[in-house]
Amino acid sequence: MKNWNFRLKTGVFILGIFLILGFILPLFHPGNPTEWGTYPKNLKPSSAHFFGTTNLGQDTFWLLAKSVQNSFIIGIVVAFFATVIGALLGLLAGFKGGFLDRAITLLTDSFIVIPSLPILILLGSLMKGRASLFYIALVLIIFNWPWPARQLRSMALSLSEREFINTAVFSGESTMKIIVKEIFPYVAGWSVANFVNTILVAIGSESGLAVIGMSSNEKATLGTMIYWANQHQAMLAGRWWWIGSPVIAIVLIFIALFLTMTGYQQYSALRRGK
């Protein structure tokens, strides 16, 4: 903590607040925050309902807490699997070379250039807004592993020239073992930064899909909250607490994730220098 820079501190602090809001506070709230008609409709913010209630009779504060939770779960699951798959394939490509390398590179390059949103919309449209969060996460993983794969491939290329890798190869270690035991420690710092960034991307893509009604409309996420608020003309009717709270939450979460990522990069660069 002592050597943490300003960005890392601020980012982790804001993230901490949202993680408490999403994962700890809901433990003290009985009942299902997504259920319609629990409370009177369209109450203004008050001490009983911190952020008022929605047009569907939900408490906006608890709905927001649940949405933050689900959005983070999607983000973390996608980021974890995308980073692990991307790291393994990228390192394998860079380390093995040859045909395997060319095949993986072509695949990553195509996935990077293809605009993912239209295909996500296509997938979402086939489920008519009733996709499960698991399905959305799976699709997001498919579109997010190529970035770390491409980056780590080039890192593996330069690492595989090093002496200690040759030693490992000649001492008869298996490729998988070399990648996991010898190469991975060198790229772990970068992978952490990528993990945080992918959380940002995944939450962003899910909300983007949800805003247009192509995600899991019945589940509470930050995007579906905006979707329902838009569907019920929250802005026109002046119910700013309903549409405003998820929008502001997304903005703050994204700034916090970005600060954490860049702050961590600076921090680990400094540590390497020592």
Partner 1 sequence: MGFYKFLLSRAITFVLVVFIGITTVFFVPRFLPSDPVEAMIGRMTSKSAFMEPGAVESMRKTLNESFGLQGTIVQQYFGFIKRVVFTHDFGPSLANYPTPVNELIGRALPWTMGLLLISTLISWLIGNAIGLLSGFRKEKAYSKVLEAISIALYPIPYYIFALILIMLFAYIIPIFPLSANFMGKGFSWEHIKSLLVNSALPALSIILVGTGWWVISMKTLSSGIAEEDYVHFARLKGLKERKIMTKYVLPNAALPQVTMLALQLGSIFNGALITEYLFGYPGIGTLIFGAILQSDYNLIMGTITISIIAVAGATFIIDFLYPFLDPRVRYK
- DSSP 8-state secondary structure symbol assigned to residue 43: P
CA distance 27 to 19: 12
Q: In the complex, what is the shortest distance from the CB of residue 161 to partner 1, in angstroms, rounded to a whole number?
A: 20
Q: In the complex, what is the shortest distance from the CB of residue 56 to partner 1, in angstroms, rounded to a whole number?
A: 19
DSSP labels for 22-38? IIIGGGG--S-TT-TTS
Token digits for 209?
Answer: 């899909």
Residue with Cβ nearer partner 1 (168 or 224): 224
CA distance 79 to 82: 5
- Determine the interface stretch with partner 1 among 69-77, 80-88, 174-182, 209-217 (rule: CB under 8 A): 209-217
- Determine the interface stretch with partner 1 among 17-25, 33-41, 76-84, 242-250 (rule: CB under 8 A): 242-250
Instruction: Give alpha helix (H) positions in the chain.
Output: 6-19, 60-96, 98-113, 116-127, 133-144, 146-159, 163-170, 175-177, 184-211, 222-231, 240-273
- Determine the interface stretch with partner 1 among 18-26, 75-83, 186-194, 236-244 (rule: CB under 8 A): 236-244
Interacting residue with partner 1 among 24, 48, 251, 270 (CB under 8 A):
251
Q: In the complex, what is the shortest distance from the CB of residue 260 to partner 1, in angstroms, rounded to a whole number?
A: 11
- Determine the interface stretch with partner 1 among 35-43, 77-85, 157-165, 235-243 (rule: CB under 8 A): 235-243
**Using the rule CB under 8 A, is 244 a contact of partner 1?**
yes
**Using the rule CB under 8 A, is 126 a contact of partner 1?**
yes
**Using the rule CB under 8 A, is 214 a contact of partner 1?**
yes
Closest by CA position to 13, among listed 263, 268, 248: 263
Residue with Cβ nearer partner 1 (20 or 112): 112
**Using the rule CB under 8 A, is 119 a contact of partner 1?**
yes
Count of positions on this chain that bind partner 1 (CB under 8 A): 39
Q: How far is CA 205 from CA 65, 106, 115, 139, 148, in A?
A: 19, 24, 12, 10, 17
Residue with Cβ nearer partner 1 (155 or 222): 222
Determine contact, residues 215/225, Cβ cutoff 8 Å: no
Angle between helices 116-127 and 133-144 (to 10 degrees): 160
Which residues does residue 53 pair with via DSSP β-bridges, in sequence order?
59
Residues interacting with partner 1, by CB under 8 A? 106, 109-110, 112-119, 121-123, 125-127, 200, 204, 207-208, 211-212, 214, 226, 235-236, 240, 243-244, 247, 250-251, 254-255, 257-259, 262
